[in-house]
Amino acid sequence: MPATTDRRTFLKAGAVAAVPAGADAIEIDPAPSYELSPFLYMQFMEPLGTTDGSVEASWDHAKMDWRPDLVEVTRDLGCTMLRWGGIYTDFYRWREGVGPRGKRPVMRNLLWGGIESNQVGTGEFVDFSRRVGAEPLICVNFESDGRERYMRDGDSIRTADSKETAEWVAYCNDPDNKERLSHGVKEPYNVKYWQIGNETSYDSRGFRLPAAQKKTVEFARAMRKADPSIQLIGWGGDDRGSRRLGEPVQNWTKGMIEAAGDYLNYVAFHHMFNPDDLDDPVFAWGKYREDAGRTWDQLMKSWKIHDAKIRQIRDQLGNLEMPLAMTECHYSIAGRHRCEVLSTWAAGVSYARMLNVHERHGDVLKIATAADFCGTRWQVNAVMLPVPGNQGAYLMPVAHVMKLYRHHSGERAVSVKRTPADLDVTASRTGDRLFLHVVNTNRTRPVTAELAVQGLRVASGKAFEIAADPMLETMRNNPEALAPVVKTVARGGRWTFPAASVSALELDVTA
């Protein structure tokens, strides 16, 4: 049955009585609603210099290829989109990362410190994306987002204009591009998704909104002239935390759409935040281990902050229609190697609640992430890269839940009408198969629920379940500790969700 079938057609088998739902039911209305984008499970890769060698540590400089353990674990993760860049792109010149390796100049990382070799550039990034089954997204140098400190490094010009960016699009996508052909690359890279501007509004020393609007139109026109088929993401959000003294808060989301909406397909924002109790912190510097109950309770609240942020951006849209792209998102907590608590399964469960928030906003949120991609030590990473590299890359808790959801999700959202206390549930469907994402937010108690689908019955199903001690920490010596367990859901659909668990259920339903 097509996923677009409406509920009336779905229930056309005569007067089908609804399954009576008890007080402990997860009650589902199976009528298909908005499409859930596969890009809700993206990752982003940014060279992070001496802070966290994300790209240099990913590349085997002896073999001149990607680390095979990174390729393998990323393919298993199943990320749907991979983004190149971040603030790094404010001083990135793309031509330094193409052509013969021996002629590629090294560059200084002006934000994170250290030297980038440029052995990983456009071709290598796109190759990695294709190997792992991800759509590449490139964030461009948007005249350094107006930040003068990134425009020059000594005698080296680090900023880039719309002409250079359009030439990058042509290098990637024009089958007859002479520059790419001269580098021995016959087939175009076909990069469809491009982002103009990165956190442009977050710095009072960068572009203000009127300049960003004008520049976005200029860049978009030039890039579309090189390839009219590309999908463009402009910068939205607001400048609440970075506006100049005396300036009112600027609604960049609405302003960017009003000025450049005819040229854009999405508008972007980011959300990195600390979910801790700032008056009495529980997460910082290993303190989270002292009181597991309080750590759990604080993490279970974090989705509210995230939901409020997305609602704020939605409100900024007003009556304008434009899909949202949250191209960076993760917790940001003080601690050893940044956010140490995020190695715990408790953090993994809280991230599952964040992913449920993404699904609930999936009618307008079409690109989203919940982690940095890879690196050597930051706990915000989805993939940890031990060095030396022979120890094997592994998934962090956030990646385990992203992988679980990515591999067990439907094409269209359906409505969850009721849930038992302690369960956070979202649902989707493809044809006659329903998919449930269920988080048991109770740290110590399992929850048993009836799986009640209006007008239908559960014929069979599978449960893919991750359950562990909330204080279990993912490290190099236990990389499979959070591997999901597969169980069979019996006919009739009653299920027990373990304490502190995240489950993905696939249910076949019948009249």
Lowest mean pLDDT among 29-43, 190-204, 326-340, 494-508: 326-340
- Rounded-to-integer distance, Cα 425 and Cα 503, Å: 10
Residue pLDDT, tens place only, 47-84: 999 888 899 999 999 999 999 999 999 999 999 999 99
User: Is 38-407 in CATH node 3.20.20.80?
Assistant: yes
What residues contact residue 274 under an 8 Å CB cut-off, 6+ apart? 283, 331, 332, 333, 334
Q: Give the residue carrying structure tokens 């060279």.
A: 47
Q: Is residue 337 pLDDT above 70, yes or no?
A: no
C-beta atoms surrounding 289 within 10 Å: 13
Residue pLDDT, tens place only, 409-466: 999 999 999 999 999 999 999 999 999 999 999 999 999 999 999 999 999 999 999 9
345-360 and 292-300 helices, crossing angle to 10°:
10
- At 476, the pLDDT band (50, 70, 90 cuts) reads confident
Residue pLDDT, tens place only, 111-167: 999 999 999 999 999 999 999 999 999 999 999 999 999 999 999 999 999 999 999
- Rounded-to-integer distance, Cα 300 and Cα 349, Å: 8
Going by C-alpha positions, the residue among 417, 302, 433, 412 that lies closest to residue 362 is: 412
Whether 315 and 356 have beta carbons less than 8 Å apart is answered as no
Query: Cα torsion for 202, 207, 211, 213, to the nearest 10°?
Result: -30
Which is more confidently placed, 336 or 251? 251
pLDDT number for residue 286 = 78
Structure tokens at 196: 């103009």
Q: What is the CATH number of domain 7-35+412-510?
A: 2.60.40.1180
Q: Is residue 404 pLDDT above 50, yes or no?
A: yes
Structure tokens at 125: 């990034």
Query: Up-side HSE of residue 370: CA atoms within 13 Å toward CB?
Result: 29
**Is residue 29 within a helix (H) or strand (E), and if so which, with residue range?**
strand 25-29
pLDDT number for residue 23 = 66
**Nearest-5° Cα angle at 247, 242 to 249:** 65
Structure tokens at 330: 């993760």
Query: Cα torsion for 26, 32, 38, 43, to the nearest 10°?
Result: -40
Question: Domain extents for the chain?
Answer: 7-35+412-510, 38-407
Going by C-alpha positions, the residue among 260, 367, 272 that lies closest to residue 323 is: 367
397-407 and 68-77 helices, crossing angle to 10°:
50
pLDDT number for residue 279 = 92
pLDDT number for residue 245 = 76
Q: Give the residue carrying structure tokens 């969700």.
A: 497
